């Protein structure tokens, strides 16, 4: 499964929050912002920091999607 952070960026737009503001409020490095923009996995600690800063749940900031190379019949 891949992860997408489109929901987070939409929420930030709705709240008129910049990535710099998120970084400061959540207390993490610029590297985390880069990972978000590249839809890379983050540690649960980083996800929790984002949720606390945004006052929201995990389901409001990320979505898991099947990888393109995940074939099969969908049974898991």
- Give every residue of the chain whose pLDDT is below 70, as ranges: 69-76
Q: Is residue 75 part of a domain?
A: no
> Whole-model pTM?
0.84
Task: Provide the domain count of the chain.
Answer: 1
Whole domain around residue 39: which residue ranges? Answer: 2-65
pLDDT of residue 15: 96
pLDDT of residue 67: 84
pLDDT of residue 24: 96
Q: Is residue 22 part of a domain?
A: yes
Phi, psi of 3 (to 5 degrees): -120, 140
CATH number reported for the structural domain that contains residue 17 in this entry: 1.10.260.40
Q: Is residue 43 part of a domain?
A: yes
Average pLDDT, the chain: 91
pLDDT of residue 68: 78
């Amino acid at each position: 499964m891949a992860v997408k952070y489109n929901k987070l960026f939409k929420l930030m737009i709705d709240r008129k929050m910049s990535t710099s503001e998120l970084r400061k409020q959540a207390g993490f490095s610029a590297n985390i912002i880069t990972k978000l923009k590249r839809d890379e996995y983050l540690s649960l600690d980083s996800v929790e920091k984002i949720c606390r800063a945004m006052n929201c749940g995990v389901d409001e900031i990320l979505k898991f999607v099947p990888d393109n190379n995940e074939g099969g019949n969908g049974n898991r």
